[in-house]
Amino acid sequence: MTKGAQTRETILDHAIRLASETGLEGLTIGTLADDLKLSKSGLFAHFRSKEALQIQVLDHAAEVFVESVVRPALKAPRGEPRLRVLFDRWLDWGRATELPGGCIFAAAASEMDDRPGPVRDRLVELQREWFGVIAISFLKGVVEGHFREDADPDQFAQDLYGIMLGFHHASRLLQDPEAGRRARRAFERLLLDAAPSPRSRPVTPSTS
Amino acid sequence: MTKGAQTRETILDHAIRLASETGLEGLTIGTLADDLKLSKSGLFAHFRSKEALQIQVLDHAAEVFVESVVRPALKAPRGEPRLRVLFDRWLDWGRATELPGGCIFAAAASEMDDRPGPVRDRLVELQREWFGVIAISFLKGVVEGHFREDADPDQFAQDLYGIMLGFHHASRLLQDPEAGRRARRAFERLLLDAAPSPRSRPVTPSTS
DNA sequence: TGACAAAACGAACGTTCGTGCTATTCTAGC
DNA sequence: GCTAGAATAGCACGAACGTTCGTTTTGTCA
């Protein structure tokens, strides 16, 4: 019982790093086994298919994500402060958790969006959950009076995700050192636009 | 002379569609040959390596992109109007050019960001060009007085790309039918925030 | 029409992939 | 310390991959 779960953990720990670089499909059992000095069949026995491995990799990554992004944010006051922590942690969770390929979900998302099956289904589930966390956090900000009442939480979630993906693209592919700064600036602008018109913001027609 | 270039065109035409779904690495010579009713070796002879094929696929996709996104925008007045056309065409160039997997560059970007080599290099080159087109278009908008003088074109480019990627994510992976509407709203907000004076603002014929 | 080049083919190569078996080694509870 | 059962290794498989090769078909132009 103990030993098996232990090595399985070790495998998944390494697998999310590998998968962040090569993608879930590029993740290969042979390479994984070599890296960990296991036999292919020995490693394979832990999962009984590659598909199962991929799904468990996703789940494991989600656990790590919750631990290093979501959980710390819960300590901050709800509403805007919590959203700020969420964003900060999100921005460098790839670096903080030492994922050499950056956010594994961003990679998996564009890899899986046209590949139907259980892996994609699980990914969609996890992403929806995360979208939900963002939207609800934003909604709490509305209740707290940090944001306008007519602001759309789903709009906010998609916008925020866009900022993240734009950052990921600029920093990882284009290697632009300014990417992080720009992402933070965009985030500030997003918050400002959702602020409850204290002054000078032209109200955008959000119901049209 | 003629015949070879002709079939090569046919191959690349189909290849960008395939690659938009499976990615550049998932693109397989055997499948490609089967689909086009060619022999593997016959098809292979046109390119002399898979790497060369991948690069030519990227170049071909870039040509199509310029033709169906950039070129039409040149007919619009420079500055904001042209940016609006660029954005509109960009949003549905996947649909318009019948790429079943959506934007092939978005897919390639997250696939290649950790895979050094000539393919990645070419992709980066193309993406930088596109970033440049956006930034310069924005700069012209500043000159025309559509945008604030202190606005940062590179910031605008990254923000815009983020909106696109957020849209891609929400619409393709999460299959959210509202994704397009939200992307357009985010774009309006982006333009509004770059507008010269918070108060006076001549709005605006061409919204959806 | 005949000759020569271009294009496409079929078969095979060496690898690598995921996945089964069967045997061996380790580990926990008595 | 023994033993059942879990964990791992060894080996082999069929399929798919990119690539090479020699041959055949097709196109082009004197």
pLDDT over 60 (residue B27): yes
Using C1' positions and the CA of B44, the closest nucleotide is D19
| Mutant choice from B27, B87, B98, B114 vs A, greatest count of A C-beta within 10 A | B114
Q: Does A74 touch chain B (CB under 8 A)?
A: no
For A80-87, the CB contacts below 8 A with 24+ separation are A80/A141, A80/A144, A80/A146, A80/A147, A80/A191, A82/A137, A82/A140, A82/A141, A83/A134, A83/A137, A83/A138, A83/A141, A83/A191, A86/A133, A86/A134, A86/A137, A87/A160, A87/A187
Q: Does B110 touch chain A (CB under 8 A)?
A: yes
Q: Which pLDDT belongs to residue B207?
A: 42
* pLDDT digit string, tens, across residues B87-103: 999 998 988 888 999 99
Residue B118: pLDDT band with limits 50, 70, 90: very high
State percent of chain A over pLDDT 70.
94
Q: Which pLDDT belongs to residue B202?
A: 46
Contact yes or no for A113 and B128 at CB 8 A? no
Q: Residue range B3-12: average pLDDT? A: 90
Using C1' positions and the CA of A42, the closest nucleotide is D8
* pLDDT digit string, tens, across residues A20-41: 999 999 999 999 999 999 999 9
A50 touches strand C (CB under 7 A): yes
Distance CA A11, CA A122 (A): 20
B68 Cα to chain A: minimum distance (Å): 23
Contact yes or no for A123 and B164 at CB 8 A? no
Residue B1: pLDDT band with limits 50, 70, 90: low
pLDDT over 50 (residue A203): no
Which residue bears the tokens 């002709």?
B6
B74 Cα to chain A: minimum distance (Å): 25
State percent of chain A over pLDDT 90.
89
pLDDT over 70 (residue B208): no
Contacts of A106 in chain B (CB under 8 A): 110
Q: Which pLDDT belongs to residue A198?
A: 63
Residues whose CB is less than 8 angstroms from the CB of residue B120 and which lie 6 or more positions away in sequence, other chains included? B112, B113
Q: What is the mean pLDDT of chain A?
A: 93
Contact yes or no for A204 and B189 at CB 8 A? yes
CA-to-C1' span, B125 to C17 (A) = 32
* pLDDT digit string, tens, across residues A85-125: 999 999 989 888 889 999 999 999 999 999 999 999 999 99
* pLDDT digit string, tens, across residues A38-66: 999 999 999 999 999 999 999 999 999 99
Residue lying closest to nucleotide C18, CA to C1': A50
Alpha carbon separation from A141 to A68, A137, A148, A194, A201 (Å, rounded): 22, 6, 9, 10, 18
| Mutant choice from B174, B176, B188 vs A, greatest count of A C-beta within 10 A | B174
Q: Residue range A181-190: average pLDDT? A: 98
Q: Which pLDDT belongs to residue A82?
A: 98
Q: Which pLDDT belongs to residue B4?
A: 74
**Chain A nearest-CA residue for B166:** A162
Contacts of A19 in chain B (CB under 8 A): none
